Each structure stands twice: as structure tokens, then as C-alpha cells.
Amino acid sequence: MRLLDVLGPVMIGPSSSHTAGAARLGNIARILLGEPPVQARIILHGSFAATYRGHGTDLALVAGLLGFAPDDERIRDSFAWAAREGLEFSIETGDLGDVHPNTARIELTSRSGKRLSVVGSSVGGGKVEITEISGLPVSLTGEKNTIVAMYPDRPGVVAGITSILAKVGVNIATMRVARSGRGKTAVCVIEVDQDIPEEVVQEVRQLPTIENVIVVRAQ
């Protein structure tokens, strides 16, 4: 058992699940977009929807979208910071189906027009899991360095990524691949045990058909 499991994360309260976890969800969504968002639509489900005002879940999610860490004191004033940074957002409640009670759907747009939607849950103790990226099922916790690659489904793409990692001695801890259909959009999420050098990221980006590669550093 780790000390974090006993004491919980360093954070701005009141809740590790509803505040710290929410900030981490927002931050990972920002990283996956690859650019600072200028528009965000946030849909809160279950316990998030029922208690978000009292626990500051809305403030924490917006803070994460701004890149603030769970222990950043600016979380309390994140709405004002969003106005300063040019981030327009809306917060709604809704039923996201058979998901964890502490779940949010986050739909983002960047200044360049890039769009991304993620579904993620705060699973306790400040830990999170991203379960969907742009409609595709994934499992991304942010606890390990992770490569997220988007590409049209083609033979050999995953083998190309794993070969690059093996060549530099980066060990794969978990890997999940999902696609919207044969030959359609696919996403590969690979958690690894080591740091991911930037030159490795650039080499993956050069693979045929790769559309986007994002690295989520361990948090």
C-alpha cells in the first residue's frame, strides 16, 4: 500500500474524488486535445451531478482545463481565470448511462478548431480513468507515461508503434486498441514503464497514416 492510498493526494479540498479527481480529469482532457481549449461543454453524471456545487467539482474541472494541478489554490477562482484566459464553458447535468457515479463528459474546441470529446471518471483518492476518447472506448489512468495515437485503421500501425518503443527499450505495461469500424478511425493507448523520449514521439508521428500522437506524462 502506498502512502497516497492512506493519506490521499495533496489537493485543494474538500473531496479527493469530487475535487482533486475532477481537476485531474480536466487536465488530462486538455493534454489530449493537444492545445489550450477555448470552448468546453461539461456534462456531469450521477454523484458529480448531484453534489458538484458543494464539492467544487465544476470549479475543479474548469481548473484542470486551464492546466491547474489539484493542489493549485487558483482552483477556487477558476471561473474568473477562465474568463481571463478566454475559455468559454458550460456545465450541464445528464445521464451518461452505465458508468461510474463520478463521471463527466468533456467536449472541447481549441482556437485552431480542433475538437475532442472525452468521458472520464474519478474513481477515488484522486485517481481517475478516461474511458472514452472521441467515442472510442479506452482505459487511461494517467498513472503511467502513456502514448495515445489516433489513425485510420490499417494493418501494421500498432506493430510500427511497438517496434519503435522496443528499439529504445521502452517496456509496454498495458495496451488497448479500439476502432469505430474496419478501416475507420482507430485509437491506440499504450502505458509504459519508462519515460518516453521526444525523439520517440516524433518517430511515431512519422509512421504512415498516423494522424495525431499525444503523450500523457505520469501524474
Name the strands in the sheet holding 172-179, side by side, starting at the edge strand that comes first in the sequence: 172-179, 185-192, 145-152, 212-216
Q: Please say whether the structural domain 3-134 has been given the CATH code 3.40.50.300.
A: no
CB hemisphere CA count around 68 (13 angstroms) = 27
CA distance 156 to 151: 12
pLDDT tens by residue, the chain, 219 residues: 343 443 344 444 445 567 899 999 999 999 999 999 999 999 999 999 999 988 899 999 999 999 999 989 999 999 999 999 999 999 999 999 999 999 999 999 999 999 999 999 999 888 999 999 999 999 999 999 999 999 999 999 999 999 999 999 999 999 999 999 999 999 999 999 999 999 999 999 999 899 999 999 997
What is the model's pLDDT at position 10?
A: 45
8 A C-beta contact, residue 81 and residue 104: no
Give the Cβ contact number of residue 94 at 10 Å: 11
For CATH 3.30.70.260, the residue range(s) in the chain are 145-216
What is the model's pLDDT at position 95?
A: 97
Helical pair 21-33 and 57-65, crossing angle rounded to 10 deg: 30
What is the model's pLDDT at position 125?
A: 84
What is the model's pLDDT at position 184?
A: 95
What is the model's pLDDT at position 80?
A: 98
Residue 35 DSSP SS3: coil
What is the model's pLDDT at position 126?
A: 87
Q: What is the DSSP string of 88-136?
A: EEEEEE---SSS-SSEEEEEEEETT--EEEEEEEEEETTEEEEEEETTE
What is the model's pLDDT at position 219?
A: 77
CA distance 124 to 20: 9
CATH architecture for segment(s) 145-216: 2-Layer Sandwich (3.30)
Residue 151 DSSP SS3: strand
Q: What is the pTM of this model?
A: 0.90
For CATH 3.30.1330.90, the residue range(s) in the chain are 3-134
What is the model's pLDDT at position 16?
A: 58
What is the model's pLDDT at position 55?
A: 87
